A and B are shown apart, each in its own frame.
Chain A
Amino acid sequence: MNLWDTWKKGFAAWESATASYLEQVLANPAVLGPAGNMLTVAMKTKSATDKATAAWWAAVGLPTRRDQERSLHKLNQLESRIADLEEQLADARADAPASK
């Protein structure tokens, strides 16, 4: 067995033990709680900043980024609804008895 193979065996043993230990650490409420709280605080700060920016933008009479996103989403929804209706129409035509 050469040096590389020996090292790999040692690495595999270390990796297995470390992965198992880290899994316990990452599932520990003492770690999860503060980590989640930090993420939540960061997200709430970002939301508040975005809202403040949007309010300023709207105050000068311009559409906000969120307004534009809503409009685009509505367009996509309309496209989907039209596709739904086309499918229903095709099904209704296929089910209808021949009239001629």
Chain B
Amino acid sequence: MTTHRPPGILSSLLALAARARRGPPAVGLTPCDEVWRENKWRLLRYRATRPPAERWRTPILLVPSLINRYYVLDLAPGRSFVEYLVAAGHDVFIIDWGTPTAEDRFVTFDDVCHRYLGRAVRKTAAYSPDGVCHVLGYCLGGTLATIYTAAEPARVASLVALAAPIDFAHGGLLATWTRSPGFDVDALVDGFGNVPWPLMQASFQLLKPTANLAKLVGLLDRAWDDEFLDGFMATERWGNDNVSFPGACYRRYIGDLYRDNALVAGTMRLGGKPARLDAIDCPVLAVTFEHDHIVPTAAATALLAHVSSPDQAQLHLRGGHVGAVVSKKAAAGLWPQLSRWWAVRDTDAARGLGDDADDGDAADGHGDADDAGADDDAAADDADGPDADAPAPS
């Protein structure tokens, strides 16, 4: 890693020009197989790199935000959460929501959250000898995963809500905008069909209008650092590769969640069933970030106040909404803690390790980790990487 101070702006510009000639970085490179495809979405399973005896028993389903590309969790080698989990012996699945086209304006919230996510959970759980799977939802994906778990808890072994908004009364500026009388969600959906991603991206940028300028200054300041540039370019590529929100789904998302706060109010329904947070009794972990201007901490931690799980924890780290998840330093902080959290909620039999399973390093897929929050301080120092404030929306 380069550690020299830059000699000046001119050399930074030259370094940027040289980097630009190499083109956009490759993303989403961890080898995987498509195990299910339906309408635009598909379920991917990453190829194991460890022999069966060294793998964890319960598979993990990753649920990204509906409006962002799934590869944020598999950004680039060395910056890939998925790559880390696979190397640690986890069986990892991820939902690629795909790109909705014009006819998907009629896709409803129930279609996405009950039918599609439900299918992904069932397909993933089918790979487990116990018929269950861990679920991690990131941002809006965390909201969807929480609602699904509340309505259909049977196959969910545990729930991790990663920077996921739950209490929309604390939703920050986004909540203020969507609740303002001038914001007519029906007119928006009727006019656009699917809510176009540039509109949503613009709204995320308005959350912090100076972010692009600050990003430019940061880029000039670190242009001499190849490693920083690789991460920056990959995150930028992801941040500018968003997808539109299916219209009918968006209408209910805004109405039920942002305006009625139905999840916290206990009035949410999914697939005709009540989706009450107090129905969730599996292990729950809420991960929040100190500088997250998209999902304020209070909006995410409300999950823990409402679930009935005896096994629940909060992991609060420094960093921004995206940077703390994909920065290279997350590999030393957030990722091992999540792996350990799942590890102690796994069973030993499938790995043939019996009672010896607690020996060794949890991050390697063998060991104990009984308190995800215990390493908060250490992780906090690591999670605030050079791209911690990358402004890509999620």
Are A83's CB and B119's CB within 8 A? yes
What are 30 A-B contacts with C-beta separation under 8 Å?
Answer: A4-B9, A4-B221, A11-B214, A15-B213, A22-B209, A22-B210, A27-B173, A29-B180, A32-B180, A32-B183, A33-B182, A36-B184, A37-B182, A40-B183, A40-B188, A43-B184, A43-B192, A47-B190, A69-B106, A72-B103, A73-B104, A73-B106, A76-B104, A76-B107, A79-B39, A80-B38, A80-B111, A83-B119, A84-B115, A87-B122
Interface majority SS on B: helix, strand, loop or mixed? Answer: helix
Q: How large is the interface on B (under 10, 10 to 19, 20 to 34, 35 or more residues)?
A: 35 or more
Q: Which residues on A are within 8 Å of B, measured CB to CB?
A: 4, 8, 11, 15, 18-19, 22-23, 26-27, 29, 32-37, 39-40, 42-44, 46-47, 50, 65, 68-73, 76, 79-80, 83-84, 87
What is the CB-to-nearest-CB distance from B41 to chain A, in angstroms, rounded to a whole number? 11
- A46–B336 Cα distance when bound, in Å, is 50
**Chain B residues, Cβ within 8 Å of A83:** 38, 119
- List 6 other contacts, CB 8 Å, given A32-B182, A50-B191, A73-B103: A4-B9, A11-B217, A33-B180, A36-B181, A39-B183, A80-B115
Contact of B45 with A by CB under 8 A: no
A8-B221, A76-B39 known; A46 and B191 CB under 8 Å?
A: yes
Are A23's CB and B173's CB within 8 A? yes
Please report which residues of chain B, range 188-225, place their CB below 8 angstroms from some CB of chain A when the two chains form the complex.
188, 190-193, 206, 208-211, 213-214, 217, 221
What is the CB-to-nearest-CB distance from A80 to chain B, in angstroms, rounded to a whole number? 6
**Chain B residues, Cβ within 8 Å of A37:** 182
**Chain B residues, Cβ within 8 Å of A76:** 39, 103-104, 107
Contact of B187 with A by CB under 8 A: yes
What is the CB-to-nearest-CB distance from B198 to chain A, in angstroms, rounded to a whole number? 13
Contact of B251 with A by CB under 8 A: no
Are B191's CB and A42's CB within 8 A? yes
**A15, A29, A79: the one within 8 Å of B214 (CB):** A15
What is the CB-to-nearest-CB distance from A98 to chain B, in angstroms, rounded to a whole number? 20
- A84–B289 Cα distance when bound, in Å, is 38
What is the CB-to-nearest-CB distance from B147 to chain A, in angstroms, rounded to a whole number? 19
Are B191's CB and A32's CB within 8 A? no
Contact of B177 with A by CB under 8 A: yes
Please report which residues of chain B, range 224-282, place their CB below 8 angstroms from some CB of chain A when the two chains form the complex.
none
A15-B210, A80-B111 known; A36 and B38 CB under 8 Å?
A: no
**A15, A23, A69: the one within 8 Å of B102 (CB):** A69
A43-B187, A46-B191 known; A80 and B39 CB under 8 Å?
A: yes
Are B176's CB and A27's CB within 8 A? yes
A40-B182, A84-B115 known; A32 and B176 CB under 8 Å?
A: yes
